[in-house]
Amino acid sequence: MKLIASPTSPYARKVRMVLAEKNIPFELIIDIPWNADTDVPKFNPLGKIPVLVLEGGETLYDSRVIVEYLEDVKPWPLLIPVDAQDRIAVKKWEALADGVADAAATIFLERKRPEAQQSPDWIARQMRKIENGLATMETSVAGSWCAGEAFTLADIAVGSTLGYLSLRFPEIKWRETHARLARIETALLQRASYKDTTPPPA
Ligand SMILES: N[C@@H](CCC(=O)N[C@@H](CS)C(=O)NCC(=O)O)C(=O)O
């Protein structure tokens, strides 16, 4: 299978980490969806990465669908709990982490526009999502890992988003203000799946 991704996308990093944790072989195709010559719309009508291309040519998106698919294909190591309540808790973590990444990516794009066209109110609204999201994550950490004592997709999603914040918003010193999240990231840094998917410096 092939994964179409960019090196900096937190959503693609989430999928790459799941593939690495499950030791599933894949070919990484780097394609930046913002480039004029991108092929991403040929694989995803929404023009977004990540896209997983299966052996028969079928394409899967978005990252949440892809990680569900990978869990089905190779359930071990288990990253999404089987128990319904635990499963929903982990998926909620994923939604929160992805939502913070969405807000961060929105600000990143807004700041690329000519200064006169940028909306400070819009940026402030997105920044509140980041701050509130981080605060909720911090108080929700339930044990050694985000969702309790087991390493799950929750930690992968949170780590991908924290890594993206460090890349694009180094001024948000989340490590200094969110001790539990800092502890989670320190633990993630022990794992090859996280270390090997570190985005290149901005
Ligand atoms: N919800 C999607 C978000 C994917 C996404 O927004 N990817 C960005 C890159 S980080 C993208 O491809 N943007 C291109 C565009 O919006 O046209 C997922 O989880 O896969």
Kindly give the confidence (pLDDT) of every residue in the chain, 202 residues in length, as a single tens digit, with 9 standing for 90 and above: 999 999 999 999 999 999 999 999 999 999 999 999 999 999 999 999 999 999 999 999 999 999 999 999 999 999 999 999 999 999 999 999 999 999 999 999 999 999 999 999 999 999 999 999 999 999 999 899 999 999 999 999 999 999 999 999 999 999 999 999 999 999 999 999 999 999 998 8
Q: Which amino acid residue places its CA nearest to atom 13 of ligand 1? A: 48
pLDDT at site 202: 83
Q: Are residues 59 and 91 in the same domain?
A: no
Q: Are residues 30 and 115 in the same domain?
A: no
Whether residue 48 has its Cβ less than 6 Å from ligand 1: yes
Q: Are residues 123 and 191 in the same domain?
A: yes
- In the chain, the number of structural domains is 2
Which conformational region is residue 60 in: left (phi greater than 0), alpha (psi within -120 to 50 degrees), or beta?
beta
* 111 within domain boundaries: yes
Q: Are residues 29 and 115 in the same domain?
A: no
Residue 164 tokens read as 């993206």
Q: Are residues 96 and 68 in the same domain?
A: no
**What's the gap between Cα 22 and its chain centre?**
17
* 54 within domain boundaries: yes
C-alpha of residue 149 to centroid of ligand 1, in Å: 30
Q: Are residues 53 and 146 in the same domain?
A: no
Q: Are residues 38 and 102 in the same domain?
A: no
Residue 117 tokens read as 């066209």
Non-local CB neighbours of 146 within 8 Å, separated by 6+ positions: 93, 137, 140, 152, 154, 155, 158, 184
* 132 within domain boundaries: yes
* 78 within domain boundaries: no
Q: Which atom of ligand 1 is nearest to the CA of 101?
A: 10
* 201 within domain boundaries: no
* 51 within domain boundaries: yes
End position of a domain, from candidates 73, 96, 113:
73
pLDDT at site 86: 98
CATH of the domain at 126: 1.20.1050.10
Domain extent at residue 17: 2-73
Q: Are residues 43 and 95 in the same domain?
A: no
Q: Which amino acid residue places its CA nearest to atom 11 of ligand 1? A: 48
Q: Which amino acid residue places its CA nearest to atom 2 of ligand 1? A: 62
Q: Are residues 96 and 155 in the same domain?
A: yes
* 79 within domain boundaries: no
pLDDT at site 142: 86
* 200 within domain boundaries: no
Cα-based distances in Å from 33 to 5, 8, 90, 146: 9, 12, 28, 31
